[in-house]
Amino acid sequence: MQTITKEKALVRIRLENRRGHYVTIVDFGNSEDAKQLGIKDMARELKKRLAAGGTIRDSWIEIQGDHRQKIKKLLIEMGFKEENILIDEGVTET
C-alpha cells in the first residue's frame, strides 16, 4: 500500500456559486489520500486562519467565500508543493 505525502499530493482548488454564495472547494483526489493527509485537522486550521465556516465532504474541504489564493498560500505553509496546487480560475454554477 502506497502512502501519500504532502510533497506528492495533487490539490485542486475551485470556486462554486451556490444560490448566490461562493464556496471554495479544496479537492485532494480520493478519500483515502485525504485521510492520510489529515484532512480534518487541515480543515480546522484553514477555517480558523480564514475566519470562515466550512465542512468536510468525502475527499474535499468546503470553505465559505472566495479564498482560492489565500488557501494556496496556507497550503504551501503547511508543507504542500506549490507546483502541485492547481487553481481553477473559473466559477462553477451549481
Interatomic CA distance for residues 20 and 4, integer angstroms: 36
pTM of the model: 0.90
pLDDT at 35: 83
pLDDT at 32: 81
pLDDT at 1: 42
Q: H-helix or E-strand containing 21?
A: strand 21-27
Q: Where do the domains of the chain lie, and which CATH numbers do they carry?
A: 6-80 (3.30.780.10)
Interatomic CA distance for residues 22 and 2, integer angstroms: 35
Task: Report the largest interatomic distance among the alpha carbons of the chain, rounded to a whole angstrom.
Answer: 42
Q: Would you give per-residue pLDDT tens digits along the chain (94 residues)?
A: 445 788 888 999 999 999 999 999 999 988 787 888 889 999 999 999 999 999 999 899 999 999 999 999 999 999 999 999 999 998 888 7
What single-letter DSSP state applies at residue 1? -
Strands 85-93 and 60-64: unpaired
pLDDT at 58: 86
pLDDT at 3: 57
